[in-house]
Amino acid sequence: RPLALPFVRMRSGTQKLFFPLKNKLFALYLCVELVPASLYVSGAMGQFKWYTSLLRDDGFTNLSMIKVRRLLGIGLAEMFGVALFLATGCGNLVSTISNSEPSHINTVLSFALGISSAIIIFAPISGCMLNPCLNVTWLVMGHMSLVKFVYYTVFQVIGAYLGVAFIAAVTPDIPEGPPGFCTTHPNPDVTTSQAFAVEFFLGFFLSLCLCHVLDKRASQQHGLVFAKFAVLVVALALPLGKYEGGSANPARSLGPALLSGDWNDQWLYWTAPNFGAAFAAVIYRAFFDAPIFEDVDSDGKTREVDATI
């Protein structure tokens, strides 16, 4: 369907396109309108109007015992991976045992190493997405069905809750807040629109990193995936984490919120990074994908185009 963007009358009397990022209903509107539109555009650039991959089986029908074990293995891998990621990151935030506040760089390194460790262990089993934003990337790139998207996301959220709950259970005198322990919130000096932009930016580049990993041109570097994500997380979170907590992961933000009951700003951490991830996947599929840089010779062989200048 056509994308109907809202217009708001400004004080000058003219009508201009305006994005009221503080309006949570507008963020919901973007979810309903822009994500399907981006999928449509990306599909059209790929010579078809919609993704048949969205409705494919992905192993969820005609279940046998081996299929059930396989699906449970995938879900548990995502759950344990996110639990490890949250436990290492949130564990570093504990100050009641060491009687000292953790430094920003220590927190960033703890989360980055937790992600890398989870990838090392679980990537061969589930791909180790660990992040609903990366599920969105897989969805747009045509590697995941809608059913599998929901399946991955549910287990990731459960894992996030278990990871932070474990740290809370083994830590004496855990701070009760608000804000809740290990929850993410924008810096008080940062506006909602600025925090939204930072989360969008983080989700965008995390998604591009996954697109690179999925690209067949990088197939010989799969053993370095854990290092690639660690480097990117450190590079992004060190300068930008102070703006809004550097989440870029809806499950990472929701897990601590489920434990503490602190729901403030959850809409921000579920909309902005997912929009960024979807937009990055559309850009990659439309302009960067490997087939775009290949030509077919007269003998039918595929030849990679030299794109360097």
What phi and psi, each to the nearest 5 degrees, are found at residue 250? -55, -35
Q: Which amino acid, one-letter code, is at 142?
A: G
Tens of pLDDT, residue by residue, the chain (309 residues): 333 333 333 333 333 334 444 455 555 545 545 555 555 555 545 444 445 667 677 778 888 899 999 999 999 999 999 999 999 999 998 876 767 778 899 999 999 999 999 999 999 999 999 999 999 999 999 888 999 999 999 999 999 999 999 999 998 877 776 788 999 999 999 999 999 999 999 999 999 999 999 888 887 877 889 999 999 999 999 999 999 999 999 999 999 999 998 898 999 999 999 999 999 999 999 999 888 887 766 565 666 665 554
Residue corresponding to tokens 């279940």:
63
* pTM for this model (two decimals): 0.80
Superfamily of domain 22-286: Glycerol uptake facilitator protein. (1.20.1080.10)
Tokens found for residue 54: 């969205």
> Which pLDDT does position 112 carry in this prediction?
95
> Which pLDDT does position 13 carry in this prediction?
37
Name the residue ranges covered by the structural domains of the chain. 22-286
> Which pLDDT does position 305 carry in this prediction?
62
Nearest Cα to Cα of residue 86 among 309, 257, 307: 257
Do the Cβ atoms of 113 and 230 come closer than 8 Å? Answer: yes
Q: Which residues make beta-bridge pairs with 101? A: none
> Which pLDDT does position 306 carry in this prediction?
59
Distance separating alpha carbons of residues 211 and 229, to the nearest angstrom = 12
> Which pLDDT does position 34 carry in this prediction?
53
